[in-house]
Amino acid sequence: MSIERKETVYVDGSFEPAKSDTRSEVIDPSTGSVIAEVPAVGVADVDRAVASARAAFDQGPWPRLSGTERAEVLNRFADSLNARTAELAATVTREAGFPAMFAEPVHVANAIEFVRYYASLARAEPFEQTRTSALARAEVRVRRCPVGVVAALVPWNIPLLGALSKLAPALAAGCTVVYKPSPETPLIAYMVAEAAHEAGFPPGVVNMVTANLEGSERLVSHPDVDMVGFTGSTAVGRRIAQACSADFRRHALELGGNAAAIILADAPAELIAAGLGATGLALNNGEACIAQRRVLAPRERYDEIVAILAATAEGLPVGDPGDPTTVVGPMITAEHRDRVLGHIEAARAAGALVAAGGRSVGDTGYFVAPTVLANVTNDMAAAREEIFGPVVCVIAYDTVEEAIAIARDTEYGLSSSVWTTDITAAETIGRRLRVGSVYINATLALDPGIPFGGFGHSGLGRELGPEGLDAYCEIQSLFVPSGS
């Protein structure tokens, strides 16, 4: 197979040769083979991308267009992405290893809806309101202004969803953007830039750089960047927050998770198998911050629930993500596969029982068998750290109060779930959990109209929904004397 070679970055409305002569390899995680090379750009390319975005914001038309005018371009952007649906889905499968059965409906079609949603919001949302100030004897124009130049840093596990959850609201608000994909999944970013170019954004409004570590650090600390939007690990998010806080620049961070799935005593076996098979083991190959990893099981049903989950795990097809029957694909890199297997071995050494999986799969690629760990306690590292693979830890509880306490005993607060036939009881439990999203008997989804984010070490701010647009706006009050 020939290797695809990219030589450009997208800056100021055109694809320009990268100034950096270093390259980054893109690996197919299902085979371990190199499928592409892209520029690994540093400070020089980042600086010209930021300069382009700065000029487009300060001098260009985009921030001064009406919401309706911006919506028209955003809808063209969505149309251009939609025309590339098959290619986008194939690329998600090839460079990230996510199974084909999920790539188009979850990673592509859902992401494009983010753009259409924010186009509709830009068209309908009042960016200015008039209020009366009796004290100032004035009419006050309360304006929602775009925050400015936005650096959008996107993870490999949601390469298109993560990009469009930032680009769409930022652009709808009137911001300009410098978009940096993960080095593991840069090919999607070139397709996004092509679609943006085709949509006709003014030069400098959308820029894309495949930055290396040095370039990325320059981007998040650049004095001409007004806001950083980041999805990724809590450790990196903390460094970004420190860099932004030093000069009071805005930042929105969607970070790690350690979800607890509370199974109540009345939950049917088939609900447990289907629901937690999907949300705990199969979701995104387990490489998802919202994966329901800590399964809290009532002690009187503990052995039964472990057996249900073990049978489910053993029945999930693992293999070539391009095969339409595959449910679980490879880990993103060999290093990440080894990290996941290391977590499993550490849990075994701490006293956990491997009820299913616990091993690598195949001689090529970076596959881990869906794994169920039993006899886990909440103080074990496997229950406290984000494994980020197809692994669930089953923890016993005696009372619902204890289950809630275990669920809350984590530094993270992104999502949780409750599984039961008693919806009223589930809602009551959900209201007591310190997490951004609670799913009752439901598979997980990123809905464009619903805010997503977390408490605690799971991040700052919310993406999606009207709240996602608010993140990219500043508020200005303009006092106009009454009667003028």
On whether both 101 and 235 belong to a single domain, the answer is yes
User: Mean pLDDT, 10 residues at a time, over the chain (484 residues)?
Assistant: 92 97 97 98 98 98 97 98 98 98 97 98 93 90 97 98 98 98 98 98 98 98 98 96 95 97 98 96 96 98 98 98 98 98 98 98 96 98 97 98 98 98 98 97 90 97 97 96 81
pLDDT for position 442: 87
In a domain, 328, yes or no: yes
Sign of the dihedral through C-alpha 390, 395, 400, 405: negative
Read off the pTM: 0.96
Catalytic annotation on 254?
Answer: yes
On whether both 10 and 159 belong to a single domain, the answer is yes
On whether both 79 and 13 belong to a single domain, the answer is yes
- For the beta carbon of residue 126, count every other beta carbon within 10 angstroms: 10
In a domain, 281, yes or no: yes
On whether both 323 and 248 belong to a single domain, the answer is no
**Residues pairing with 25 in the sheet:** 37
* Residue of 175, 289, 393, 473 with catalytic role: 289
* Residue of 254, 287, 386, 463 with catalytic role: 254
Q: Kindly tell me the number of DSSP H helices and DSSP E strands found in the chain.
A: 16, 25
On whether both 239 and 267 belong to a single domain, the answer is no
pLDDT for position 124: 93
On whether both 266 and 245 belong to a single domain, the answer is no
On whether both 265 and 249 belong to a single domain, the answer is no
On whether both 168 and 278 belong to a single domain, the answer is no
On whether both 72 and 208 belong to a single domain, the answer is yes
In a domain, 415, yes or no: yes
Catalytic annotation on 175?
Answer: no
CATH number of the structural domain spanning residue 290: 3.40.309.10
pLDDT for position 2: 85
Owning domain of residue 106: 4-255+458-479
What per-residue string of b and e applies to 382-414 under the rule 16 or more CB within 10 Å gives b?
A: bbeebbbbbbbbbbbbeebeebbebbbebebbb
